[in-house]
Amino acid sequence: MSQTLDQIFLSVAQKKPDAIALTDCPNAERLGNAERLGLGTITDLTYTHAQRYIQQTAQFFRQFGLNDGDIILVQLPNIAETPLILLSLFNAGLVPCCLPTHWRKSEIEQAFNKLNAKGVIVHQSTPTYDPFASLFEIAADHLNLRFIFGLGQDQNLPDGVTPLPDIHQTIACETPAPANNDFTICRSQEQVALIGWSSDQDGAPHPVAYTHIQMMANAHLIAQQTKVSDSPSILTAYSPTTLPGLIAAFVPWITQGGTLHITSQLKQKFLLDRFQNHTIDQAVLPQGLEQKLHGAFEPQEFTLQNLPHLILIASTPAHRKKSNKKSSKNTSKKIPLSPNSSVFFNLNGLCLITSQVPNEDEGILKLGNSELAHKDSVINPPFIQTRLQGATQKAGDLNQTLKGRLEVSGLIVGFANWQDQMTISPLSNFNEHWEQTHLTARLIDQALSTLEIEHNQDTIYHGANQLSGLELDRLYQTYPGFVDAAAFSIMDPLLGERLFAAIIPRPGDPLSYEDFKQHLIDQNISPVKIPEKLVTVTQIPRTQDGIIERKNILPSH
């Protein structure tokens, strides 16, 4: 715990140089535009090869005159190079800021306005979006943006983009990179490891800083729950540029010295191949794959009984089960999870965890301090503290209800109150700062000790993305063919919530979904924010205060 994440990884590499550190999806070179992302034929990477790439790529970054604590924006998918590049940035004394892969020009520009970033790393263009064109426009207005690094084939990268080192050439080179003694690296476990993002109710992004020790504390909490042994074999469908991918896969892989298996595909046949050809100790997958995986494995000799630890990432926050709701008839067909399997969800950039404990409700938190059950933990509890601010109390016939804004503190909570010089100054006093989550919670037991998080109808959880309904409303209302428009969603077992747009067409104007979609694309709107269908309604229900009542847009919704 006294080392930074890259130092831990490199120390493991010294102890077991020939062990497999990383594997990539064997079908990756045939997936979509993978050949344009720089993926080759990587299947197995030893710790020696990984160490070589990390150290030489760190030297590559240092040669550009970047300073200790400089911020580099990173927008990369779930491919083998991504975790290695993050470790290279750590090793170079730089601070990666992870951008969601669905962010487009307007959101990236907001990130530059919030942070004094010196560079950005993106993958090559895809058929629907060219990140370099947007970044060139942003760089013209932000002089602090000095470098645009591209991951892909050199001959396909546009002029002005600096290609990242090719992983195949790097691991084949036995000559170590020359050291740059002019670069001073001063780090501690209490300095910022990386930066993630939160958002307010209007959809505006806000940076959230996580220190090395906070990242390790979150991952340690997972290890305590799953009890995975040392050197685990972890399969992940989540990129380490996402909070679930970081906490559930990337950091446990580093701190426990195991093997990280990257999968870019969620189709049954690809996942089945990964399970059958590797001994997987822990899998980090979307919760919606639960039933599909069961159907894929059922006729096989391999069963998920051989997989003791399956971490399912919920697309939407877990909700408390209704005590009077009957159990589903399909319960017996679900994947047999261990009692300690976990569901993650992201609360405005803050990572909270709910355990699936038999006969207990999901989506509940303890009011006050929450500590580990294991007394031999190397992390000092409490992990998290909760409190209600601005609470109102209502007396009922049988009990009392207390509601308020949820605030959290503790070792696993990131710093959302961004300040200058935060990347080079140690961030300590974890139990002395409180973060607002912009969420409402209420006490649900007579002892006034258990909190239930209330669902915010203006937040839409589409896939792994948390979207602002208010922001979507404003986007849809810019289309000139609509009198009025509003976003709404319908629950989906895989996506979390499917995104739709309720619209009132302008009389006399032809209604065309394709024209509306192109209108959003022309504004560089992320595909994640484009509704899959338009639903014509006679009116969009609003409260007296003008707030859209999304749950009442459709009579059956």
CA 318 to chain centre: 16
State the amino acid at position 178 in one-letter form.
P
Question: What pLDDT is recorded for position 328?
Answer: 33
Cβ burial 41-72 (10 Å sphere, 16+ → b, else e): ebeebbbbbbbbbbbbbbbbbbeeebebbbbb
Element (H, E) at 217: helix 212-226
Q: Which domains does the chain have, with CATH numbers?
A: 459-552 (3.30.300.30)
495 exposure class (CB count in 10 Å sphere: 0-12, 13-18, 19+):
buried
Beta carbons within 8 Å of 166's beta carbon, 6+ residues apart: 38, 154
Asked if residues 421 and 406 have their Cβ atoms less than 8 Å apart, the reply is no
541 exposure class (CB count in 10 Å sphere: 0-12, 13-18, 19+):
middle
State the amino acid at position 110 in one-letter form.
Q
**Closest-CA residue to 529 (of 104, 75, 74, 78):** 104
Asked if residues 157 and 166 have their Cβ atoms less than 8 Å apart, the reply is no
Question: pLDDT of the chain along its 557 residues, tens only?
Answer: 468 999 999 999 999 999 999 988 655 444 444 443 444 556 788 999 999 999 999 999 988 888 889 999 999 988 888 999 999 999 999 999 999 888 888 888 888 888 989 999 998 766 677 888 889 999 888 888 889 999 877 667 888 899 998 887 888 777 666 665 555 666 788 889 999 988 776 777 889 999 998 888 888 777 766 666 678 889 898 889 888 888 889 999 998 899 999 887 777 777 777 777 788 888 888 877 766 676 666 555 555 555 667 777 766 665 444 444 333 332 222 333 333 445 555 555 665 555 444 444 445 667 877 665 444 544 554 677 888 888 776 655 445 668 888 888 877 888 888 887 888 888 877 767 888 877 788 887 767 777 777 777 788 888 767 788 999 999 999 999 999 999 999 988 777 789 999 999 999 888 899 999 999 988 888 888 999 999 999 999 999 888 899 989 987 54
DSSP category for residue 245: H
| Distance separating the N- and C-terminal Cα atoms of the chain | 49
Checking DSSP bridges between strand 205-211 and strand 192-199, what pairing results, if any?
A: antiparallel
State the amino acid at position 277 in one-letter form.
N
**Closest-CA residue to 259 (of 286, 272, 277):** 277
Question: What pLDDT is recorded for position 316?
Answer: 66
Question: What pLDDT is recorded for position 475?
Answer: 94
Distance CA 109, CA 539 (A): 35
State the amino acid at position 491 in one-letter form.
M
- What angle (nearest 5°) sits at the alpha carbon of residue 462, between those of residues 460 and 464? 120
> Which token pair is 523?
């504004």
State the amino acid at position 55 in one-letter form.
Q
Question: What pLDDT is recorded for position 305?
Answer: 57
Checking DSSP bridges between strand 119-123 and strand 147-151, what pairing results, if any?
A: parallel
Which phi-psi region, left, alpha or beta, contains residue 348 (left: φ > 0; alpha: ψ -120 to 50)? left
Distance CA 383, CA 410 (A): 5
> Which token pair is 526?
């992320």
Asked if residues 532 and 520 have their Cβ atoms less than 8 Å apart, the reply is no
